[in-house]
Amino acid sequence: MGGSDSHRRSRLAPYLLVAPGILWLLAFFVAPLVILASTSVGQGGAWYETYGLALGRYGPHFLRSFRYALAATLLALVLGYPLAYFIAFRAGRLRYPFLGLVILPFFVTFLVRTFAWKTILGDGGPAVWLLQRLHLLGAHGRLLDTSIAVVGGLTYTFLPFMVLPVYASLEKLDRRLVEAAEDLYATPGAAFRRVVLPLSLPGVFAGSLLTFIPAAGDFINAQLLGSPNQQMLGTVIQNQFLDVRDYPLAAALSFVLMALITVVVLAYARLLGTEELA
């Protein structure tokens, strides 16, 4: 009796454990997406007009958002991979303090950090002064309100999201494989290209997603560091939702953004050969 009772309890246990959290996600993540979808198709036909308008009028914003997000992801990879490699293979006992340094910026509110970039990049600020001295920027050249500032800000905001997954995949890597490659007379460069890099691709994939997706939807960097010429899709969605209150159009824009992101992610997964996400 008692045996079958506890057996039943342990079969039910996982469901009881996941139920509250999963119900929360169903109610406040999945259901809202369903409502957003129904809002985007509006009441009574003509949904294709809404979507046509979304793509037609805001096509340039889509293109710009994806271009900026792609540039930021590539930059974050170039900056972040060597840092992750350094922490995993060269930092020794200081590995965790170094990881702490990568996480520490999170404790300072993202918005305040972006305002600090405004000060650094502003006209008459240190960055403009330095670049003018090096004759990389003309006498009236600016950094603020350019796409360089926006992409730089996006890269900065999401860099830790690139470093951490890459680090995790490098740390898990079996170092004996590298030793084996070296024993077989592979040069350090070849050992990296043929052994370390392929094994770290899952981390690169996760890091790229965690950088690209939020960057494509971000609007703070474009709003604070750019001019209306650098406006990204996030600003449009925010305006349509909170100011213009054209809910069907705003919802359609959100869905096109998600669909395009899904296409990019799937293409990228195929490129890297990592079909598995988590």
Residue 102 found at the interface with another protein (CB under 8 A): yes
- List the one residue from 143, 151, 167, 264 that touches another protein (CB under 8 A): 167
The residue type at 56: G
Q: Which residue stretch of 46-54, 106-114, 131-139, 178-186 sits at the interface with another protein (rule: CB under 8 A)? A: 106-114
Q: Which residue stretch of 45-53, 133-141, 173-181, 234-242 sits at the interface with another protein (rule: CB under 8 A)? A: 234-242
Q: What is the DSSP letter of 104?
A: G
The residue type at 252: A
Q: Per 3-state DSSP, what percentage of the chain is helix, strand, and coil (rounded to 5)?
A: 85, 0, 15
**Closer to another protein by Cβ: residue 229 or 238:** 238
Binding to another protein, residues 173-202 (CB under 8 A): 188, 202
- List the one residue from 42, 118, 197, 268 that touches another protein (CB under 8 A): 118
Q: CA dist 270 to 208, 213, 256, 276, 277, Å? A: 14, 17, 21, 10, 12
- List the one residue from 50, 169, 200, 230 that touches another protein (CB under 8 A): 169
Judge whether 166 and 88 are in contact, CB under 8 Å.
Answer: no
Residue 244 found at the interface with another protein (CB under 8 A): no
Q: How far apart are CA 140 and CA 142, in angstroms?
A: 7
Judge whether 65 and 147 are in contact, CB under 8 Å.
Answer: no
User: For the window 54-83, what string marks contact with another protein as x by the rule CB under 8 A?
Assistant: -------------------------xx-xx
**Closer to another protein by Cβ: residue 109 or 229:** 109
**Closer to another protein by Cβ: residue 28 or 139:** 28
114: number of Cβ within 10 Å: 19
Rg of the Cα atoms in the chain: 24
